Amino acid sequence: MQIGQRVALAGMFASGALAAIKIAAGLLGHSSAAVADGMESAGDVFASGIVLLGLTLAARPPDWNHPYGHGRLETVTGLFVGFMLAMAGLAIAAHALLTMSAPRPTPAPFVIWPLIASAAVKGALSGAKFHYGKKIGSAALIADAWNDSVDILSALAALVAVSLTILAPRALFSADHWGAFAVGLIVVFTGWRVTRDTALQLMDTMPDRDAMANIRGTALTVPGVRGVEKCYARKTGLQYHVDLHLEVNPEITVRQSHEIATQVRIVIRETLPWVADVLVHVEPAP
Section 82-91 average pLDDT: 82
Distance CA 280, CA 246 (A): 7
Of 22-26, 133-137, 230-234, the poorest mean pLDDT is in 133-137
Least confident of 183-187, 229-233, 245-249: 183-187
pLDDT band, residue 125 (cuts 50/70/90)? confident
Number of CB atoms found within 10 A of residue 30's CB: 17
153, pLDDT greater than 90: no
Report which of 172, 148, 153 is spatially closest to residue 162, judged by C-alpha positions: 172
Query: Over the stretch 65-86, which tens digit does the pLDDT of each residue have?
Result: 877 777 777 778 778 878 887 8
* pLDDT beyond 60 at 38: yes
155 touches 134 (CB < 8 A): no
Of the ranges 11-15, 174-178, 238-242, the best mean pLDDT one? 238-242
Tell me: pLDDT of 29 over 70: yes
Q: Is 233 helix (H, G, I), strand (E, B) or coil?
A: strand
pLDDT band at 10 (very low <50, low <70, confident <90, very high): confident
Q: What is the pLDDT of residues 154-176, one digit of tens each?
A: 778 777 777 877 777 666 667 76
d(CA 160, CA 166): 10
User: Can you give the pLDDT at residue 81?
Assistant: 78
Alpha-carbon distance of 123 to 178, in angstroms, equals: 23
In this predicted structure, the answer to whether residue 219 has a pLDDT above a threshold of 80 is: yes
Residue 139 confidence (pLDDT): 66
Question: What is the reported pLDDT for 172?
Answer: 65
Q: Indicate the burial class of 203 (C-beta count within 10 angstroms; 0-12, 13-18, 19 or more).
A: exposed
Q: What is the pTM of this model?
A: 0.62
* Distance in angstroms (rounded) separating the CA atoms of residues 220 and 228: 7
Which is more confident, 48 or 93? 93
Residue 151 pLDDT greater than 90, yes or no: no
Over residues 93-112, the mean pLDDT reads: 74
In the chain, the percentage of residues whose pLDDT exceeds 90 is 21
Range 260-280 average pLDDT: 93
Q: What average pLDDT does the chain have?
A: 81
pLDDT (0 to 100) of residue 261: 95
**CB-CB contact of 144 with 81 (8 Å):** yes
30: phi then psi, degrees, rounded to nearest 5:
60, 50
Report the pLDDT averaged over residues 45-70: 75
Domains annotated on the chain, with CATH = 2-202 (1.20.1510.10), 209-284 (3.30.70.1350)
* Distance in angstroms (rounded) separating the CA atoms of residues 248 and 169: 78
> Higher confidence at residue 107 or residue 270?
270
